[in-house]
C-alpha cells in the first residue's frame, strides 16, 4: 500500500522519451506527477536534432518510419491534441526495391490486400511469388500454434527459401521491423509484428511517414499537455540513484514519492536502481544486446526524382531512401536508413555520405554531388529482438514501487516507438492499480492487468 494519505498519489516519471511521456500523460489527471529529464530536449532516442541543421528543413535523431498499426502512438497523439494529418503522410504500403521486388498492397480487405499485391508484383517470377505466399501462410499457421521460438534465418533455411527471396523480402523486412540480424532475429516477435500489422487490416499496413520533426509530433505537445494539467517538469535534471524509504516511498532527487516510473534506456536504468537491487536484475540488464542504426541525411542543389516515397535496395548501403519531396518537404532532401549498421563497418561521416550518394546515383544517375549531409549513428539504437529472449524479472522493483518501462520491456514487440508508448502506458496502469488496491483511489483500475490497457 502507498503510505501517502493524500487523495492522489505523488509519482515521479524519470525520463522524457516516448515511454516516459506516455506514462506521464496517462498519470497526470489522476496523480501528482513530476517529470525528470536529463537532457535539454524531450523525446529520448526519437527526438528533434538539437544541433546545426545545415540548411535542412528539419533533422531528427534518426529517420523513423511508422505504420498504421501503431495504435498506441496514434491514441497518444490524439490525447495531446496532435492530428495525424498534421504529423504524417499516410501511404499504402509499397515495397519498391530499385534492384528487386516491387509490389503495392491492393485496395482489398486483409489479407487479400497482401495476396493480390504480391501476385501483381514485379521483378519476381510466379514460382517465387507462390513460394513467398506459402512461406507467409506457413508463418501464420505456426503463429496460431504457439510453437517455441526460433531464429528467422533458421526457419527460412528449414523452409528452403531461395536466397533471392531472402535478399529481396525477408532480410529487408527483418532489418526494418526488428533491427536485428536475420540469424538472431526472433521468429515469434516477427509473427507478432505481422499479425498485429499487415495481417490484421489494410490500414494497419499503411506507412506513416513523418512530415515534421518528432518534437512537433510527440515531445513538445506532450510537455504542453502535462504543464496544462499541472505536472511539474524538470528538464536538464539528472537524478541520482533511487533510494527506497522505510515507509515504502521512493526518494527521487532527494524528494519522497509514492512511486517512480523509470523510463530511461536500460543502460541508464541499471545505474539508477537502488543499491540493494538483486544481482539477477543487474545481470539481466548487463546482458542486454543492442543493435545500431545509422541515418544519413543528404541535401542536393536540385530536386531528387525517386520512384517511390520509400525506395529500397536489396544490395546497397542504404536499406531505404525516404524521399522528402513525396512528403511535401523540399525535394532536394533525402533521408537514408541503415539498420543493423555495424554490418557496414565503421565509417566516418564523409564515408557514410559517399556510400549513400553512390546508392542514390544508381537511381538518379544525373544527380550532382550533395550540397550538405548529416550522419547520425545510434550505436545502441534498439535492444536486439533475439529468439527466445528473456525479459528482466522486475517483481522485486515493482514491490518497492519502482516501475521500469521502455520499448525494450515489451513482451511481444521489438524495440519500436509503439512498444515504448504501450510500455509507458502499462507502467502508469501499474501505479494506478496499486493506488486503487490501497483503497484511497478508485478509477476502475483495480481489475486491470499489466499491459491489458495497451492491448498486449
Reported pTM? 0.93
State how far the Cα of 98 lies from the Cα of 436, in Å rounded to an integer: 55
Residues 6+ apart with CB under 8 A from 416: 70, 382, 407
Task: List per-residue pLDDT tens for the chain, 456 residues long.
Answer: 444 445 789 999 999 999 999 999 999 999 999 999 999 999 998 888 877 788 999 999 899 999 999 999 999 999 999 999 999 999 999 999 999 999 999 988 888 899 999 999 999 999 999 999 999 999 999 999 989 999 999 999 999 999 999 999 999 999 999 999 999 999 999 999 999 988 888 899 999 999 999 999 999 999 999 999 999 999 999 999 999 999 899 999 999 999 999 999 999 999 999 999 999 999 999 999 999 999 999 999 999 999 999 999 999 999 999 999 999 999 999 999 999 999 987 789 999 999 999 999 999 999 999 999 999 999 999 999 999 999 999 999 999 999 999 999 999 999 999 999 999 999 999 999 887 766 544 333 333 344 443 344
What are the pLDDT digits (tens) for 361-408?
Answer: 999 999 999 999 999 999 999 999 999 999 999 999 999 999 999 999
Residues 6+ apart with CB under 8 A from 146: none
State how far the Cα of 173 lies from the Cα of 405, in Å rounded to an integer: 26
Per the CB < 8 A criterion, the answer to whether 319 and 337 are in contact is yes
Residue whose C-alpha cell reads 543528404 in the numeric block: 298
What are the pLDDT digits (tens) for 237-260?
Answer: 999 999 999 989 999 999 999 999
Q: For residue 406, what are the CA distances in angstroms to 45, 418, 441, 450?
A: 11, 10, 26, 14
Per the CB < 8 A criterion, the answer to whether 118 and 258 are in contact is no
Among 47, 58, 45, residue whose Cα is nearest residue 328:
58
State how far the Cα of 275 lies from the Cα of 284, in Å rounded to an integer: 16
Q: For residue 297, what are the β-bridge partners?
A: 335, 374
Amino acid at each position: 500500500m502507498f503510505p501517502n494519505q493524500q487523495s492522489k498519489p505523488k509519482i515521479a516519471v524519470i525520463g522524457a522519451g516516448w515511454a516516459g511521456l506516455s506514462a506521464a500523460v496517462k498519470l497526470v489527471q489522476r496523480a501528482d506527477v513530476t517529470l525528470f529529464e536529463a537532457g535539454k530536449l524531450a523525446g529520448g532516442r526519437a527526438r528533434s536534432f538539437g544541433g546545426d541543421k545545415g540548411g535542412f528543413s528539419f533533422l531528427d535523431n534518426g529517420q523513423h518510419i511508422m505504420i498504421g498499426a501503431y495504435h498506441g502512438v496514434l491514441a497518444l497523439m490524439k490525447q495531446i491534441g496532435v492530428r495525424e494529418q498534421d504529423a504524417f503522410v499516410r501511404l499504402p504500403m509499397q515495397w519498391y526495391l530499385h534492384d528487386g521486388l516491387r509490389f503495392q498492397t491492393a485496395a482489398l480487405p486483409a489479407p487479400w490486400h497482401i495476396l493480390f499485391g504480391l501476385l501483381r508484383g514485379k521483378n519476381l517470377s510466379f514460382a517465387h511469388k507462390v513460394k513467398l505466399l506459402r512461406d507467409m501462410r506457413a508463418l501464420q499457421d505456426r503463429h496460431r500454434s504457439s510453437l517455441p521460438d526460433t531464429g528467422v534465418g533458421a526457419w527460412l533455411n528449414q523452409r528452403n527459401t531461395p536466397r533471392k527471396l531472402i535478399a529481396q523480402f525477408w532480410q529487408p523486412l527483418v532489418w526494418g521491423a526488428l533491427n536485428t540480424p536475420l540469424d538472431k532475429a526472433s521468429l515469434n516477435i516477427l509473427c507478432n509484428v505481422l499479425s498485429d500489422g499487415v495481417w490484421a487490416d489494410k490500414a494497419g499496413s499503411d506507412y506513416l511517414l513523418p512530415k515534421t520533426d518528432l518534437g512537433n509530433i510527440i515531445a513538445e505537445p506532450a510537455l504542453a499537455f502535462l504543464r496544462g494539467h499541472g505536472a511539474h517538469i524538470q528538464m536538464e535534471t539528472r537524478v541520482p540513484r533511487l533510494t527506497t524509504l522505510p515507509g515504502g516511498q521512493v526518494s527521487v532527487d532527494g524528494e519522497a514519492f509514492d512511486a517512480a516510473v523509470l523510463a530511461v534506456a536500460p543502460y541508464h536504468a541499471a545505474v539508477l536502481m537502488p543499491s540493494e537491487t538483486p544481482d539477477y536484475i543487474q545481470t539481466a540488464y548487463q546482458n542486454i544486446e543492442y543493435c545500431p542504426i545509422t541515418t544519413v541525411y543528404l541535401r542536393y542543389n536540385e530536386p531528387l526524382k525517386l520512384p517511390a516515397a520509400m525506395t529500397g535496395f536489396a544490395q546497397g548501403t542504404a536499406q531505404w531512401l525516404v524521399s522528402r519531396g513525396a512528403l511535401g518537404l523540399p525535394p532536394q532532401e533525402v533521408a537514408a536508413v541503415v539498420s543493423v549498421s555495424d554490418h557496414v563497418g565503421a565509417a566516418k561521416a564523409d564515408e557514410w555520405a559517399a556510400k549513400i550518394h553512390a546508392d542514390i546515383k544508381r537511381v538518379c544517375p544525373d544527380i550532382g554531388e550533395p550540397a550538405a549531409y548529416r550522419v547520425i549513428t545510434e550505436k545502441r539504437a534498439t535492444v536486439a529482438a533475439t529468439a527466445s529472449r528473456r525479459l528482466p524479472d522486475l517483481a522485486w522493483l515493482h514491490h518497492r514501487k519502482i516501475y521500469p518501462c521502455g520499448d525494450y520491456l515489451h513482451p511481444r514487440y521489438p524495440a519500436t516507438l509503439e512498444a515504448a508508448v504501450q510500455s509507458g502506458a502499462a507502467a502508469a496502469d501499474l501505479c494506478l492499480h496499486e493506488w486503487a488496491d490501497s483503497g484511497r483511489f478508485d478509477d476502475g483500475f483495480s481489475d486491470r492487468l499489466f499491459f491489458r490497457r495497451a492491448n498486449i
